[in-house]
Amino acid sequence: MTTTHAYAATDAQSKLAPFEFQRRELREHDVHIEVLFCGVCHSDLHQARNEWKNTMFPVVPGHEIVGRVTKVGPKVSKYKAGDLVGVGCLVDSCRTCASCQEGLEQYCENGFVGTYNGQDRVTGAVTYGGYSTQLVVDEAFVLRVPENLDPAGVAPLLCAGITTYSPLRTWGAGPGKKVGIVGLGGLGHMGVKLAHAMGAHVVLFTTSPSKIDDAKRLGADEVVISKNQAEMDAHANSFDLIVNTVAAQHDLNPFINLLKRDGTLTLVGAPEHDHPSPQVFNLIMKRRRLAGSLIGGIAETQEMLDFCGKHGITSDIEMIPMQKINEAYERMLKSDVKYRFVIDLDSLRK
């Protein structure tokens, strides 16, 4: 067992505060990781505040993790001490259901084990995430980090990156396709970078006029202020795919109107309260589709990391010490982050 320093929320109302616990002894296939960096996802905030009504307290959030392997169990074959690795939102699944067999562990029919706020399949213990100095994970759920990328900028790829990469791939983003990304936050800015690298024509929708220049620098061909009706109307019936990352309830009709025949609006944003149902005729008249997408499986996450290595893609980050996490949450709620907070875990080792 190793004493681990962390930050946890003890109930939905209180701020995150220092917390100590023991990581488990290494099992045969386990990898012990010294956590270097952990991204701050809006899902961390949703769960720390129990907005999805399923949080087991105390909760140690964090599922955008990059670290160094320090020890491995006797049957580990993929990793050795010194390797730079990543861990995302998943640390286990049943590995036998149809989804797991297809490498879609995030849709495990018996329920995947989340990196935090999950339950270990062996002991039933609640899992604790990457707002902590160390981590123990089965090698099957550990990713290899391309050595040419800045490790702090890689951390957000493990959730924000794969959550946008997967729907872009599923719905065929690429040359000749017009792809919209809604919201320029952690997920949205990765969506813009990835869709651009895939060769699509990228349009970013934002509620923040101050982000126009950044969106273009990140790879958007066009930027639309989503509250401006004339700007929205100019894109009617023209999109193959729109990926919506917004973290709050809103009207989906204005975006569905922008899809061409057979176009798809994919929801990845997971707000506390559901969006109102869109108008049915808006869907049936052009055979438009409304879809959802959850992170990505392990194989696709590795594919995404390798894609980012090849294209030199990382997240734009603002590094913070662990002690600033509560301020970071407040700023994230105001859409005031460019474009992902990343925690430097050295701040907990001092």
Residues that bind ligand NAP (CB under 6 A): 41-43, 46, 159-160, 163, 183-188, 206-208, 211, 245-248, 250, 268-271, 293-295, 332, 335, 337
Q: Which tokens go with 255?
A: 């975006």
Least distance CB 115 / Zn ion (angstroms): 9
The radius of gyration of the chain from alpha carbons, rounded to an integer in Å, stands at 20
Is residue 212 near Zn ion by the rule CB under 5 A?
Answer: no
Least distance CB 206 / ligand NAP (angstroms): 3
- Helix residue ranges per DSSP H, 186-335: 186-198, 212-218, 229-233, 253-256, 280-284, 298-311, 325-333
4, 47, 55, 93: which one contacts Zn ion (CB under 5 A)? 93
Please give the Cα distance from 187 to 235 (Å, whole number). Answer: 22
Residue 46: which of Zn ion, ligand NAP, none does it interact with, CB under 5 to 8 A by kind?
Answer: ligand NAP
Is residue 47 near Zn ion by the rule CB under 5 A?
Answer: no
Give the bridge partners for 227, in sequence order.
Answer: none
Q: Which tokens go with 268?
A: 């990845």
Half-sphere exposure at residue 166, Cβ-oriented, CA atoms within 13 angstroms = 27
- 78-86, 99-107, 229-237, 264-272 -> range binding Zn ion (CB under 5 A): 99-107
- For residue 96, the tally of other CB atoms under 10 A from its CB is 11
Q: Closer CB to Zn ion, residue 133 or residue 164?
A: 164
Q: Closer CB to ligand NAP, residue 76 or residue 296?
A: 296
Q: What is the DSSP-derived secondary structure letter of residue 130?
A: S
Residue 94: which of Zn ion, ligand NAP, none does it interact with, CB under 5 to 8 A by kind?
Answer: Zn ion
Residue 86: which of Zn ion, ligand NAP, none does it interact with, CB under 5 to 8 A by kind?
Answer: none
Please give the Cα distance from 27 to 35 (Å, whole number). Answer: 19
Please give the Cα distance from 202 to 193 (Å, whole number). Answer: 9
- 2-10, 93-101, 170-178, 261-269 -> range binding Zn ion (CB under 5 A): 93-101
Please give the Cα distance from 21 to 4 (Å, whole number). Answer: 5
Q: Closer CB to ligand NAP, residue 23 or residue 211?
A: 211
Q: Closer CB to Zn ion, residue 93 or residue 117?
A: 93
Please give the Cα distance from 304 to 107 (Å, whole number). Answer: 18
Token look-up 């992902």 returns: 340
Q: Closer CB to ligand NAP, residue 332 or residue 343?
A: 332
97, 225, 294, 319: which one contacts Zn ion (CB under 5 A)? 97
Token look-up 């907005």 returns: 51
Element (H, E) at 71: strand 65-72
Nearest residue by C-beta to ligand NAP?
A: 185
Residue 247: which of Zn ion, ligand NAP, none does it interact with, CB under 5 to 8 A by kind?
Answer: ligand NAP
9, 59, 87, 108: which one contacts Zn ion (CB under 5 A)? 108
Q: Which tokens go with 57?
A: 């307290």
Residues within the interface to Zn ion (CB under 5 A)? 41, 43, 93-94, 97, 100, 108, 110, 159
